[in-house]
Copies of this chain bind each other. A is one copy, B any other.
């Protein structure tokens, strides 16, 4: 057993190096290096000795080329549990696989702009993707100073020319959702937005208004709140108690739509027989509600993919066609909408 000697070494304060492993295994440093890198010109017996020493010493290579060739991209969310996050991470990780880039999701930790830029840059990241975060112009300047390529995935704000961003077609999505309800014969269609401080809420609301206008309906029924279940329950409940209640509601997000469905249940109304409901997002849960939710699909996975590709292009100094790209939303028709009665 080599355990006696190796324990001596492993209990010493310093972490083991290639040299430590080499001497423990009774071979030269180049030989250990070859084993580590999967080279084939090492005999089986030697390889076994080296692997044993690596295990005994718990050796982990530290700054070799093997590691250094790897590229890292950090992708920052305000909230990793947001149902968006999973889909965006999925797309980014997929694209990363193709581009040879390792994607690291992080939650924004509340550093100051300078700390943040310094930390990310000092950790040797090849770029950073920021998701729907409130990005100050100071922060952007800091990343620029640090020479750090950056792409913003923003489904919320208006695009800025200061940085490269990826969004989705909110206005068009609002039109599509409302047109769908109009085509089903609905005339009293309510809309519950998310916060109107967010450009995406404004765009969706104006999509709704544009569709109504074209149909000759000039009295929109509008409410507003957070992108939350509770907002949907509260605002829809107000409407559903009235005699002239809407026969359909277009919600500014899936979470709001789920709340609207609950308000219908509490009011003793059935979806879609008594009330049609449309959401916005098409996150994982939308297909599994009862009834399954008709909603505007946001291509979150594709946005994650595009962000990684664009970032690698920026990093390589290649030009990007536009500082902002919007991917198309698409209406996903399920069972929560039906012809008006």
Contact = CB atoms under 8 A, between A and B. Distances in A.
Q: Which of A51, A80, A87, A259 has the most CB of B within 10 A?
A: A80
A53 to B, nearest CB: 10
Contacts of A10: 317
Contacts of A317: 10, 58
B229 A287 contact: yes
Nearest to A57: B147
Given A51-B145, A86-B81, A104-B104, A288 B258 contact: yes
Instruction: Quickly give the copy total for this chain.
Output: 2
Contacts of A27: none
B290 A124 contact: no
A334 to B, nearest CB: 11
B147 A55 contact: yes
Interface residues of A, number: 63
A89 B106 CA distance: 10
Contact of A61 (B81, B93, B105, B124): B124
Interface in A241-288: 255, 258-259, 261-262, 264-265, 284-285, 287-288
13 contacts: A55-B145, A62-B124, A63-B65, A85-B86, A86-B86, A89-B89, A93-B106, A93-B107, A97-B109, A105-B105, A229-B288, A285-B285, A285-B288
